């Protein structure tokens, strides 16, 4: 069967997305391949289609159990035999899976990197016809990446032990140029096809807010989005418990996930969210990798993550179906301190020598600084993200908070000179808070201890609001008129650009919002309709809810997540097509031959039973 036939037969799509066909053709021609594609762009199809066309076995190396279970479940539902091998299996289940694998039952096998060099797995692998090794979340191989996993270094040793070298294909959603080069070098990819389809997700709205009452802002946000699924990320387990408890008390459908819960509770809570039994998941960053839930309409970061890679990966779990979704970050100054503590006390890389570990910590601090700058910038937020990953746009996207906020250009030379002068006068010995408190004229313990009231610029900006001083200070950092040291003290230092302002050779202006920022409000969706159905007519919306109810019924019968039956996007297309025959149903995006055989007749009957919704009145 040809690749397009397989795409329609098993996955229900008529054409490939950007980049997919090129990567598939590269793998089929026997070339090593590296695909860098944003979350939701369809990376998994790039190795699943070749696996169905090839004669040997495709091994997919994946870092998390949830990721494997999700993808294997979806493949089996699509009629493709697949299995996973990881620590969630009992010894008996593991041996049985290997037995079936040796018998050639599975064209696709997912395996944790830790399992690759175990005697039991090697006994299977050395005798198997492995034609493709696909490395998912390939950035985990790079110690300069945001999620380095030493177990990924076992991949090269494993491949070298195989009697015949398979094609190697690596995939990731977030990789800077440096990490991309690291993936190629460490995995020893041979003259690979390298494709970056671009990091942009046009359907995602980005916003950064600094509310005084974070929980109040969050509550307002979710109240305005009834019936929508969302994820709320918190930095600590304690905050997860607090936020989840308050949302539950306020009557929201919510559950939680963090490493402090038992395995059974994490599993149950994750399934409640995936199966739509709970609409909101409050979690640490331990949740989400490999969760292919297509109808997540928003991701709110209750705290700032420690780097842009983590933020974009987590935010990217919204809108995987291509429909509009929102990514909101609630920033607070304490977030920087908490992340700094995480970096300084990180024990994930204890296998590294001290010199290398020190370099990793230094780079983590630099990444934290770049993440913090994202929260300060008045430029296009999407453009800031894309520039971080090496792409350059127009600096206006029309779908982020900054692009949709009215700004005015404000003269800040006087304030800038006072801040820079204060730093110079105290001989660059103190941190941000001390400098700002000094120019504002505060009388704190540290101001008295360091005798900063004697500084020439003490209280020189007493009439400027504290929040405005912070904005100006952030502007000076962002535009390199100041810098901070990469250590726990984060001392403020002058730069080469500082003197031009201090000497009066350069005047400064900056963009400032005309109004103080507020969490974006929307009218509640009518009757809590989902975003996917929001732009349809009343008849189509009613049909959509009927189809959702049928999908939920089937999902409950088969004990699978509803989106594995059909995605919201497929149901919306069904409402628009209004299929009456098998041929018309197969024209719906996401409906293939296999799924039609399983579910098609029931959905046709549902459409037919409610066909009077679309009839014109007599």
In a domain, 132, yes or no: yes
509 and 530 together in one domain: no
The pLDDT mean for the chain works out to: 88
In a domain, 393, yes or no: no
Residues 6+ apart with CB under 8 A from 84: 62, 65, 68, 69, 72, 97, 109, 110, 111
380 and 489 together in one domain: no
69 and 155 together in one domain: yes
In a domain, 317, yes or no: yes
167 and 311 together in one domain: no
Range of the domain at 67: 3-196
459 and 534 together in one domain: no
Specify the pLDDT at position 179: 87
215 and 316 together in one domain: yes
Dihedrals phi, psi of 581, to nearest 5 degrees = -130, 170
Q: Which long-range contacts (CB under 8 A, 24 or more apart) does 9-13 make?
A: 9/592, 9/593, 9/594, 10/52, 10/78, 10/79, 10/80, 10/592, 10/593, 10/594, 11/45, 11/78, 11/590, 11/592, 12/570, 12/588, 12/589, 12/590, 12/591, 12/592, 12/595, 13/589, 13/590, 13/592
Specify the pLDDT at position 289: 66
Between CA 151 and CA 161, with CA 157 as vertex, the angle to 5 degrees is 140
Task: Please say which residue of 334, 361, 388 terminates a domain.
Answer: 388
91 and 238 together in one domain: no
pLDDT tens digit string along 197-253?
888 899 999 999 999 999 999 999 999 999 899 999 999 999 999 999 999 999 999
| CATH assignment at residue 498 | 1.10.10.10
Cα distance between residue 221 and residue 223, in whole Å? 6
The first and second tokens of residue 295, run together, are 């109808």
The answer to whether 228 touches 321, Cβ cutoff 8 Å, is no
Q: Residue 458 pLDDT more than 90? A: yes
* H or E segment and range at residue 34: strand 33-36
Task: Please say which residue of 196, 214, 240 terminates a domain.
Answer: 196
CA–chain centroid gap for 304, Å, is: 13
77 and 18 together in one domain: yes
Residue with tokens 């919204």: 318
Q: Residue 65 pLDDT more than 80? A: no
289 and 183 together in one domain: no
| CATH assignment at residue 601 | 1.10.150.80
In a domain, 497, yes or no: yes
In a domain, 518, yes or no: no
Q: Residue 533 pLDDT more than 80? A: no
Least confident of 182-191, 246-255, 518-527, 530-539: 518-527
141 and 184 together in one domain: yes
The 8-class DSSP code of residue 104 comes to: T
Rounded average pLDDT over 313-332: 92
The 8-class DSSP code of residue 274 comes to: H
pLDDT tens digit string along 492-520?
999 999 999 999 999 999 988 775 444 45
Q: Of 219-233, 377-391, 522-536, which has the strongest mean pLDDT?
A: 219-233
Of 267 and 438, the one with more pLDDT: 438
The first and second tokens of residue 228, run together, are 């929508």
Strands of 252-397 (E only): list them.
Answer: 254-257, 280-283, 296-301, 325-330
Task: Please say which residue of 151, 173, 196 terminates a domain.
Answer: 196
Rounded to two decimals, what is the model's pTM? 0.76
How many structural domains compose the chain? 4
The 8-class DSSP code of residue 303 comes to: S
In a domain, 400, yes or no: no
Q: Which long-range contacts (CB under 8 A, 24 or more apart) does 556-559 make?
A: 558/77
In a domain, 500, yes or no: yes
| CATH assignment at residue 92 | 3.40.50.300
CA–chain centroid gap for 383, Å, is: 17
432 and 329 together in one domain: no
Going from the C-alpha of 88 to that of each of 26, 65, 94, 100, 112, the distances in angstroms are 33, 7, 9, 18, 11
Q: Which residues pair with 205 in a beta bridge?
A: 326
Specify the pLDDT at position 132: 95
In a domain, 394, yes or no: no
533 and 604 together in one domain: yes
């Amino acid at each position: 069967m040809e690749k397009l036939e397989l795409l329609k037969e098993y996955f229900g799509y008529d054409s490939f997305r950007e980049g997919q066909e090129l990567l598939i053709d590269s793998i089929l021609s026997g070339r090593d391949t590296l695909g860098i594609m944003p979350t939701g762009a369809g990376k998994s199809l790039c190795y699943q289609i070749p696996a169905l066309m090839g004669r040997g076995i495709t091994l997919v190396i994946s870092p998390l159990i949830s990721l494997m279970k999700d993808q294997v479940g979806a493949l089996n539902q699509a009629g493709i035999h697949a299995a996973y091998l990881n620590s969630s299996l009992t010894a008996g289940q593991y041996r049985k899976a290997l037995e079936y694998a040796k018998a050639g039952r599975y064209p696709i096998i997912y395996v944790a990197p830790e399992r690759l060099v175990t005697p039991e797995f090697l006994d299977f692998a050395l005798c198997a016809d492995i034609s493709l090794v696909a490395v998912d979340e390939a950035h985990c191989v790079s110690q300069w990446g945001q999620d380095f996993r030493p177990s990924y270094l076992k991949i090269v040793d494993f491949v070298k032990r195989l009697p015949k070298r398979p094609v190697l294909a690596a995939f990731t959603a977030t990789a800077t140029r440096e990490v991309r080069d690291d993936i190629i070098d460490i995995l020893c990819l041979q003259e690979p096809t390298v494709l970056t389809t671009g990091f942009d997700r046009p359907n995602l709205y980005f916003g950064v807010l600094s509310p005084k009452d974070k929980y109040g802002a969050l509550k307002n946000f979710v109240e305005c989005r009834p019936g929508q699924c969302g994820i709320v990320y918190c930095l600590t387990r304690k905050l997860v418990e607090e936020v989840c408890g308050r949302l539950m008390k306020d009557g929201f459908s919510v559950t939680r996930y963090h490493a402090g819960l038992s395995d059974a509770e994490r599993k149950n809570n994750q399934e409640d969210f995936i199966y739509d039994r709970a609409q909101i998941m409050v979690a640490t960053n331990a949740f989400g990798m490999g969760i292919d839930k297509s109808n997540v309409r928003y991701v709110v970061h209750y705290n700032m993550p420690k780097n842009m890679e983590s933020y974009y990966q987590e935010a990217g779990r919204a809108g995987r179906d291509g429909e509009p979704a929102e990514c909101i970050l609630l920033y607070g100054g304490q977030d920087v301190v908490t992340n700094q503590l995480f970096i300084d006390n990180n024990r994930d890389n204890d296998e590294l020598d001290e010199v290398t570990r020190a370099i990793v910590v230094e780079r983590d601090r630099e990444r934290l600084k770049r993440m913090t700058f994202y929260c300060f910038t008045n430029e296009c937020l999407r453009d800031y993200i894309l520039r971080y990953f090496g792409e350059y746009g127009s600096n206006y996207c029309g779908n982020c908070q900054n692009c949709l906020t009215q700004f005015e250009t404000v003269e800040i030379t006087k304030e800038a000179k006072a801040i820079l002068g204060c730093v110079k006068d105290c001989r660059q010995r103190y941190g941000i808070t001390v400098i700002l408190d000094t120019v504002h004229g505060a009388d704190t313990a540290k101001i008295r201890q360091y005798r900063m009231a004697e500084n020439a610029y003490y209280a020189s900006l007493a009439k400027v609001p504290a929040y405005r001083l912070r904005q100006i200070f952030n502007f000076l950092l962002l535009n390199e008129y100041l810098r901070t040291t990469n250590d726990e003290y984060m001392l403020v230092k002058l730069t080469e650009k500082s003197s031009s302002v201090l000497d009066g050779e350069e005047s400064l202006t900056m963009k400032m919002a005309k109004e103080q920022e507020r969490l974006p409000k929307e009218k509640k969706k009518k009757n809590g309709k989902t975003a996917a159905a929001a732009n349809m007519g009343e008849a189509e919306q009613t049909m959509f809810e009927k189809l959702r109810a049928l999908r939920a019924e089937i999902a409950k019968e088969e004990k699978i997540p509803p989106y594995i039956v059909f995605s919201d996007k497929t149901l919306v297309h069904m409402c628009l097509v209004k299929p009456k025959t098998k041929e018309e149903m197969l024209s719906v995006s996401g409906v293939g031959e296999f799924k039609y055989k399983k579910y098609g007749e029931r959905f046709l009957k549902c459409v037919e039973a409610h066909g009077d919704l679309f009839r014109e009145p007599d």
